[in-house]
Structure 1
Amino acid sequence: MYRLVFWLTYPLLWFISILPFRLFYLVSDMVFVLVYYIIGYRRKTVKENLDLVFPEKSGEEKNKITRKFYRHMCDMFLEMIKSISISNEELKKRFVFTNPEEFERIKKLDKSIVAMCGHYASYEWLIALQLHGIDYKAFGIYKKVKNPYFDKMARDIRGKFNGVLIPTVQATSQITALEKAGERGIYAMIADQSPKRFKKTHWIDFMGIKAPVFIGSEILARKLDMVVVYLNVEKVKRGHYAATLINISDNPRQEPEFAITKKYIKLLERQINNDPQYYLWTHKRWKHRNRPISEDSIVID
């Protein structure tokens, strides 16, 4: 069944991917109408999230954010498909790395990099970083796709740009092995997912709402003494993005406990407050907010 679904779907995806950008974004406009007006994909979740985070905004303001968000979300989904056939030259032009000198500074420290990012702007085209002179191998930590054929397609796309995907369950062991072998890398980690409520959970104020948070990036950086940066991706205009490395810590072992996680959250909050339409509001980030915090949970102040 997985194979059948893949081979029935892939020809359409490939056809969309080779369209000229003018027609490509016309398809995205049509998908927007379908997703926003007809299907209403997760409209209730988006409304709940915006009401929680921006109680001070008027209904009309939140409606404008919602429409802009859905347009961006459809663009980003289509841009993921565009990765099937996009050339190195085109991707490099559309996803710009603004401060390569920061990478050169870090490189002199002879340390690997944990690049913390959020579900903001374009996390699909992060594969372009190596096209801008970053000669560390790029790794993306991801959750495996259930359909093994689509999972392989995702890994093949990253491989085309010299990137490697590491499943979340294997991340610690694989990264530790690479570090022991002396291989330096840049590890992109989307760190704003909503964790499952295990017995012991870390909670933090995110956009003014107490919510559980992953601290795995901080733990890994401390364990392996890796430089931590925030990968600040901005949408410049339709189909064009700019990424900037913002330093969080060169020496994570010397940071107070949870300081790295708090700095990351503050940087992500700043982006969301500046341009909220580019955050993934369909993501149920605050779904545990009304549940009691267990006695052995840790609240990050």
Structure 2
Amino acid sequence: MQLAIYILVYPLLWLVSRLPFPILYAISDGVYLFLYYVIGYRKKVVRNNLALVFPEKSKEERLQIEKKFYRHMCDIFLEMIKTLGISTEEMQRRFSYTNIEVLQNLEAEGKNTMIMLPHYASWEWVLSLNTRITSKGYGIYQKIQNKYFDRLVRGIRSKYGTTLIATKESKKLLKAAKERRELMMVGIISDQSPMVQRARHWTKFMGITVPVHVGGEEICKANDFVPVYLKVRKTGRGLYSSTFIVLAENPTKVEDYKITEIFLKHVEESIREAPEYYFWTHKRWKHRNKVPKAFQNP
């Protein structure tokens, strides 16, 4: 069944990836109308999230954010598919870096880096960064159950030479790479909601105490990777500008969970600047009523 679905869907994805951007975004507009007005995909989750983190905004203001978010979500889904057919030159024009020298200087010093990302603006196109660096690029990701689509996603995300590593294998494989003395740059999405029973740290995110992933920080400390936040701004449709922000020069000397908290503060700043570009369909605050006593406010 998995193979049959893949055989049916892949030709359509390939065709979409070859379309010019104006047609691609015309399709995105149609998908938005269907997803938002007909299906109402996760609309309740989005509205609850926005009401939770923006209680100071009016219902009308949150509704405008909601609609802009759905338009953006449709865009980035089509843009991910477009990665199959986009040229390196076009990608570099559409996803730019304001201070690439930050990474280049760290490379010159022989330092490995960890690029910590949220589900904000475009995280898929960040993988084109591999065309601008000399480090070996790795990306930590969650496997897809359909092995054929997992292979497709790996192919898309490794187009520019990035090696994809499944989350469960990441610590072992990165340790081995370090022992080979590879100069590495590792990308990781670090704003997900972890399984509550496995949560090791809770902190405020957008003013609400929730469990947070600390895997990125732990890898940095175990391997002496310099943690870097990549702040991405959407400057136009299919156009992004990003800036590197070093979170800690010496991660092994930073107190536990501080790197994660600094990262989340930067994510909050991005969200407050342009909330429509955050991925509101995720149930990011679903464990807010399960805060252990040790992390509750006195």
Q: Same fold (TM over 0.5)?
A: yes
2:15 is equivalent to residue 15 of structure 1: yes
1:186 corresponds to which residue? Answer: 185
Cα deviation digits, residues 260-279 of structure 1 (max 9, x gap): 11110100000000100000
Output the TM-score relative to the length of structure 2. Answer: 0.97
**Alpha-carbon contact 2:199-2:213 (below 8 Å) kept:** no
Greater Cα offset, 181-190 or 199-208 = 199-208
2:39 corresponds to which residue? Answer: 39
Q: Which amino acid aligns with 1:206?
A: F
- How do 1:79-228 residues align onto structure 2 when only pairs under 5 Å count? 79-131=79-131, 133-198=132-197, 201-228=200-227
Shift of the 137–300 alpha-carbon distance from structure 1 to 2, 3 Å rule, reads farther
1:246 corresponds to which residue? Answer: 245
Name structure 1 gaps, 5 residues minimum: none
Tell me, in whole angstroms, the C-alpha distance in 2 between the residues paired with 1:268 and 1:242: 16
Shift of the 45–231 alpha-carbon distance from structure 1 to 2, 3 Å rule, reads same
2:50 corresponds to which residue? Answer: 50
Name structure 2 gaps, 5 residues minimum: none
Tell me, in whole angstroms, the C-alpha distance in 1 between the residues paired with 2:178 and 2:200: 28
Tell me, in whole angstroms, the C-alpha distance in 2 between the residues paired with 1:291 and 1:231: 30
1:236 corresponds to which residue? Answer: 235
Tell me, in whole angstroms, the C-alpha distance in 2 between the residues paired with 1:300 and 1:189: 30
Cα deviation digits, residues 156-184 of structure 1 (max 9, x gap): 12332111111000010011110111011
Tell me, in whole angstroms, the C-alpha distance in 1 between the residues paired with 2:297 and 2:171: 23
Shift of the 196–88 alpha-carbon distance from structure 1 to 2, 3 Å rule, reads same
Q: Which amino acid aligns with 1:74?
A: C
Q: Which amino acid aligns with 2:104?
A: E
1:266 corresponds to which residue? Answer: 265
| Per-residue deviation, 1:153 | 1.0
Cα deviation digits, residues 55-113 of structure 1 (max 9, x gap): 00000100000000000000000001101111111111111121111112211321211
* RMSD of aligned residue pairs (Cα, Å): 1.5
**Alpha-carbon contact 1:202-1:300 (below 8 Å) kept:** no
Q: Once superposed, which parts of structure 1, at least 4 consecutive aligned residues long, lie more than 2 Å away?
A: 297-301
**Alpha-carbon contact 1:120-1:280 (below 8 Å) kept:** yes
How many residues in Structure 1 have an aligned counterpart in Structure 2? Answer: 298
Shift of the 287–23 alpha-carbon distance from structure 1 to 2, 3 Å rule, reads same
Tell me, in whole angstroms, the C-alpha distance in 1 between the residues paired with 2:211 and 2:126: 26
Tell me, in whole angstroms, the C-alpha distance in 2 between the residues paired with 1:200 and 1:73: 28
